[in-house]
């Protein structure tokens, strides 16, 4: 939709409120995207298979305890198609310090093995990226984030683009027009409390 601008907090928040999100392309050029269709996770719809339920009990889960470590996990340079550079890390860490960005962390024996981070405005959450170093860890992070976001009235969980993996977790696609209307409602609604739901309740 556009190229340029900066990653200042005000720029980012205004972009999310209008349906845009940033991603570096090419040689460090900053671009702004608004896909049509848009991929979203309906409130509380994250699919929990029997195998995931079993795997989840091996992990501990926390929220907002090491936000920057989660972003850097997502920025692992060995990952294919990686786009998270140092400017992105610093920009979202600043949003987190201001209370606009959140992370879910997944642990095994004291080691960070997975997580997810994104931007929250009212009942709207834009899931930016997730990672795993243990089987099932990113799925657990997504389900926990879904349970948190779904607790808000009129919530909207944006995942930007659909992949086969995300579709298997319950993600669907909606038109840009429908997304923008839901976005308007969600950003004006009270947001959820960012606390961890019990995995035993799945």
Nearest residue to 98 (alpha-carbon basis) of 123, 74, 121:
121
Among 84-88, 97-101, 131-135, 196-200, the minimum mean pLDDT is found in 196-200
Residue 175, burial from CB neighbour count under 10 angstroms (0-12, 13-18, 19+): exposed
Whether residue 79 has pLDDT greater than 90: no
pLDDT tens per residue, range 103-115: 999 999 999 999 9
CA distance linking residue 77 with residue 50, whole number of Å: 32
Whether the Cβ atoms of residue 40 and residue 170 lie closer than 8 Å to each other: no
- Residue 3 located in a structural domain: no
| pLDDT (0 to 100) of residue 153 | 83
Mean predicted confidence (pLDDT) in 21-44:
89
Give the chain's domain count.
1
- Quickly state the pLDDT bin for 133 (edges 50, 70, 90): very high
Helix (H, G, I), strand (E, B) or coil at 16: helix
- Residue 190 located in a structural domain: yes
- Residue 174 located in a structural domain: yes
Whether the Cβ atoms of residue 104 and residue 40 lie closer than 8 Å to each other: no
Whether residue 182 has pLDDT greater than 60: yes
- Residue 44 located in a structural domain: yes
- Residue 49 located in a structural domain: yes
CA distance linking residue 147 with residue 41, whole number of Å: 11
Mean predicted confidence (pLDDT) in 163-187:
96
Mean predicted confidence (pLDDT) in 54-78:
92
CA distance linking residue 86 with residue 69, whole number of Å: 12
- Residue 64 located in a structural domain: yes
Instruction: Please state the pTM of the whole predicted model.
Output: 0.92
CA distance linking residue 34 with residue 22, whole number of Å: 9
Find the CATH number of the domain harbouring 118.
Answer: 3.40.630.70
> What residue numbers bound the domain in which 119 lies?
37-201
- Residue 8 located in a structural domain: no
């Amino acid at each position: 939709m556009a190229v340029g601008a900066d990653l200042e907090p005000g720029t980012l928040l205004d972009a999310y409120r209008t349906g845009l999100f940033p991603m570096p392309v090419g040689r460090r050029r900053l671009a702004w995207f608004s896909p049509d269709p848009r991929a979203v996770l309906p409130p509380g719809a994250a699919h929990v298979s029997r195998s995931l339920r079993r795997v989840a009990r091996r992990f501990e889960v926390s929220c907002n305890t090491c936000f920057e470590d989660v972003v850097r996990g997502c920025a692992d340079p060995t990952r294919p198609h990686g786009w998270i550079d140092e400017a992105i890390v610093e920009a979202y860490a600043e949003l987190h310090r201001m209370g606009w960005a959140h992370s879910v962390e997944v642990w095994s024996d004291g080691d960070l093995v997975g997580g997810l981070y994104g931007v929250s405005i009212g009942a709207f959450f834009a899931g930016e990226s997730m990672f795993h170093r243990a089987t099932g860890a990113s799925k657990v992070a997504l389900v926990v984030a879904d349970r948190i976001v779904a607790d808000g009235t009129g919530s909207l969980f944006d995942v930007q683009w659909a992949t086969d993996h995300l579709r298997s977790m319950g993600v669907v696609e909606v038109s840009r027009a429908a997304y923008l209307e839901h976005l308007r409602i969600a950003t004006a609604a009270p947001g959820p409390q960012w606390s961890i739901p019990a995995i035993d309740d799945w």
